[in-house]
Amino acid sequence: MQHTITHLLLLLIPFFMLSETTANDFSTSLEAEALLATDWWPHVNASQHHCNWPHVYCNEAGSVVSINFFNYDLQYLGNMESLNFASIPNLERFSIEYCKLEGSIPEQIGLLSNLTYLSLYGNLLTGNLPVSMANLTGLRQLYLSKNQLSGPIPRSYGSMVSLKVLDLSTNQLNASIPNEISNLKNLLTLNLGNNSFDGPFPSNFGSLSRLKTLNLGMNSISGRIPLEMANMTSLQRLDLNHNNLVGLIYGSLSRLSYLDVSSNQLSGNLSFQEPCKLQHLDISMNRLTGAFTGLHVCSDLKYLDLKSNNFVGEELNNNLTTITPSPSSVQDREFGLSSNTTSIEHMRRKKPVHLLAIFLPIILGLCFLFLVYVCYKKHDDKENKIQPETLKHGNVYSILNFDGTIAYEDFIAATEDFDLKYCIGTGGYGSVYQAKLFNGKIFALKKLHRFEADQPAFDKSFKNEIYVLTNLRHKNIVKLYGFCLHKKCNFLVYDYMENGSLFCALSDSESAVDMGWMKRVNIIKDVAHALAYMHHDCSPPIVHRDISTNNILLNSEMEGFVGDFGAARLLDPDSSNQTVIVGTLGYIAPELAYNMIVTEKCDVYSFGVVALETIVGKHPGDMLSLLNNYSNSHGKALDNILDKRLPYPTDGSTKKEIMRVYNAALACILTDPKCRPTMRNVSQELLCRGH
Q: What is the largest CA-CA distance in the chain?
A: 91
CA distance linking residue 673 with residue 588, whole number of Å: 12
Angle at 422 between CA 417 and CA 428, to 5 degrees: 95
- Helix then strand then coil, in percent of the chain rounded to 5, is 35, 20, 45
CA distance linking residue 268 with residue 262, whole number of Å: 14
Catalytic hit among 495, 546, 603, 643: 546
Instruction: Report the candidate in 671, 122, 221 with the shortest Cα–Cα distance to residue 426.
Output: 122
CA distance linking residue 113 with residue 111, whole number of Å: 6
Burial (Cβ within 10 Å: 0-12, 13-18, ≥19) of residue 247: middle
Report the 10 Å Cβ neighbour count for 366: 10
Chain centre distance of CA 127:
26
Instruction: Report the candidate in 685, 494, 493, 680 with the shortest Cα–Cα distance to residue 604.
Output: 680
Single-letter amino acid code for the residue at 388? P
- Ranges of beta strands (E only) in 521-663 are 542-543, 552-554, 560-562, 569-570
Chain centre distance of CA 374:
43
CA distance linking residue 110 with residue 235, whole number of Å: 31
**Cβ pair 430, 447 in contact under 8 A:** yes
**Cβ pair 150, 171 in contact under 8 A:** yes
546 is annotated as an active-site residue: yes
CA atoms within 13 A on the CB side of 46: 4
Phi then psi for residue 171, to 5 deg, are -135, -155
- List CB contacts of 353: < 8 A, sequence separation 6 or more: none
Q: Which residues are tagged catalytic?
A: 546
